[in-house]
């Protein structure tokens, strides 16, 4: 707490601060700081070069300060109030969602900031994802990952990767879940951009569509987003994220959520609908 107050005193002198950790949902060290004039969000180890640009284009809350304290980068943002969107909200605000994602996907300055050499080709990028997951599958501990069904589905997933049509890599959010989105009085915003990276645009679009919108609504998203819908890439990235999460839960010996995400993986590999989506 002393370090936080020291940082705040540098950026906002002559104010008294009340500091507390956020209630939940933040993996890196972070705090909420309140004074009579401000409510702020302070986060350590926020070292992506893209933060300022993300704030400039309005896809994350405004940044009020950045710096380094005892060798650790930190970020100060305006704390914003809002509600987490649910499936009903997504279904009723497809155009808002499409415009919002398009804003950061198609921002050339943000792309340049993330384009540190050496740049990967699309094919190499996909192969790296497959290689990483292949290694994780080999070391999984739970029997559910060692069944014939799991092996066959992962082999099918790997073959599908070879048939993906290359597209330009764009800035993507690593975890576009409702827990990282807020609907505020000023519109939509997204949090937790620490792992922003250049990837296939369906890396985050596909997840939002498959988990939160019925398939009959997907075309409406792309009509606003401005590119043709390519279902193969949508399902591939959903399958990739699903098996990735299943393996993540396996490392924590959480069999029930691991099994649920593995079931999602099977459905996505077969290009099936998500049964939990509102129809």
Among 78, 100, 133, identify where a domain stops. Answer: 78
- Looking at residue 276, its pLDDT comes to 82
- Look at residue 26 and tell me if it is in a domain: yes
Residue 90 is predicted with a pLDDT of 96
Q: What DSSP state is assigned to residue 83?
A: B
Residue 24, domain CATH: 3.30.200.20
Asked if 63 and 49 count as a contact pair (C-beta separation under 8 A), the reply is no
Q: How far is CA 204 from CA 36, 128, 185, in A?
A: 38, 17, 24
Q: Are residues 208 and 253 in the same domain?
A: yes
Are the beta carbons of 15 and 36 closer than 8 angstroms? yes
Residue 248 lies inside a defined structural domain of this protein: yes
Asked if 264 and 238 count as a contact pair (C-beta separation under 8 A), the reply is yes
User: Does 277 reside within a domain?
Assistant: no
- Provide the pLDDT for residue 26: 61
Alpha carbon distances (Å) from 178 to 99, 181, 195: 17, 5, 16
Q: Are residues 183 and 213 in the same domain?
A: yes
Structure tokens that stand for 258 in this block: 């691991």
Which residues, 6 or more positions from 99, have their beta carbon under 8 angstroms from its beta carbon?
224
Last residue of a domain, one of 29, 49, 78: 78
Give a yes or no: residue 279 inside a domain. no
Range of the domain at 110: 87-269
Q: Answer yes or no: do 148 and 247 share one domain.
A: yes
**Looking at the structure, do residues 26 and 144 belong to the same domain, yes or no?**
no
What is the model's pLDDT at position 25?
A: 58
Residues 228 and 100 occupy one common structural domain: yes
Sign of CA dihedral 28, 131, 155, 236: positive
Residues 34 and 108 both lie in one domain: no
Listed residues 78, 107, 137: the one ending a domain: 78
Read off the CATH number of the domain in which 92 is found.
3.90.1200.10
Query: Do 122 and 251 lie in a common domain?
Result: yes
- In Å, the largest CA–CA distance within the chain is 65
| Domain identity same for 165 and 246 | yes
The DSSP letter of residue 274 is P
> Does residue 162 share a domain with residue 256?
yes
- Domains contained in the chain, number: 2
Asked, for residue 274, whether it belongs to a domain, the answer is: no
> Do 72 and 128 belong to one domain?
no
User: For each of the chain's 279 residues, which pLDDT tens digit applies?
Assistant: 678 889 999 999 989 999 999 876 566 889 999 999 999 999 999 877 899 999 999 999 999 999 999 999 999 999 999 999 999 999 999 999 999 999 999 999 999 999 988 788 999 999 999 999 999 999 999 999 999 999 999 999 999 999 999 999 999 999 999 999 999 998 999 999 999 999 999 999 999 999 999 999 999 999 999 999 999 999 999 999 999 999 999 999 999 999 999 999 999 999 999 988 865
Residues 137, 247 contacting (CB under 8 angstroms)? yes
Q: Which stretches does DSSP call E strand in 3-54?
A: 18-20, 30-34, 39-44
Distance CA 179, CA 81 (A): 13
Which pLDDT value is given to residue 279?
Answer: 56
Look up residue 126 and give its two tokens. Answer: 């996909």
Same domain, 264 and 163: yes
């Amino acid at each position: 707490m002393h370090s936080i107050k020291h940082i705040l005193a540098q950026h906002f002198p002559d104010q008294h601060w009340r500091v507390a950790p956020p209630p939940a949902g933040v993996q890196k060290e972070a705090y909420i700081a309140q004074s009579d004039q401000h409510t702020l969000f302070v986060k350590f180890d926020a070292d992506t070069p893209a933060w300022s640009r993300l704030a400039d284009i309005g896809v994350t809350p405004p940044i009020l300060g950045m710096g380094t304290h005892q060798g650790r980068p930190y970020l100060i943002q305006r704390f914003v109030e809002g509600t987490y969107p649910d499936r009903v909200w997504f279904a009723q605000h497809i155009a808002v969602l499409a415009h919002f994602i398009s804003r950061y996907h198609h921002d050339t300055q943000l792309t340049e900031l993330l384009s540190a050499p050496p740049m990967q080709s699309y094919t190499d990028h996909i192969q790296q994802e497959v290689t990483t997951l292949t290694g994780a599958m080999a070391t999984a501990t739970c029997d559910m990952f060692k069944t014939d069904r799991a092996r066959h589905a992962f082999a099918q997933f790997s073959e599908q990767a070879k048939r993906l049509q290359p597209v330009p890599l764009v800035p993507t959010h690593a975890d576009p879940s409702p827990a990282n989105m807020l609907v505020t009085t000023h519109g939509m915003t997204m949090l937790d951009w620490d792992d922003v990276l250049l990837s296939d645009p369906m890396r985050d679009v596909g997840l939002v569509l498959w988990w939160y919108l019925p398939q009959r609504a997907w075309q409406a998203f792309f009509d606003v987003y401005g590119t043709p819908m390519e279902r193969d890439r949508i399902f591939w990235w959903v399958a990739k994220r699903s098996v990735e999460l299943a393996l993540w839960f396996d490392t924590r010996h959480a069999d029930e959520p691991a099994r649920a995400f593995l079931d999602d993986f099977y459905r996505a590999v077969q290009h099936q609908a998500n049964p939990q989506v509102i129809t």
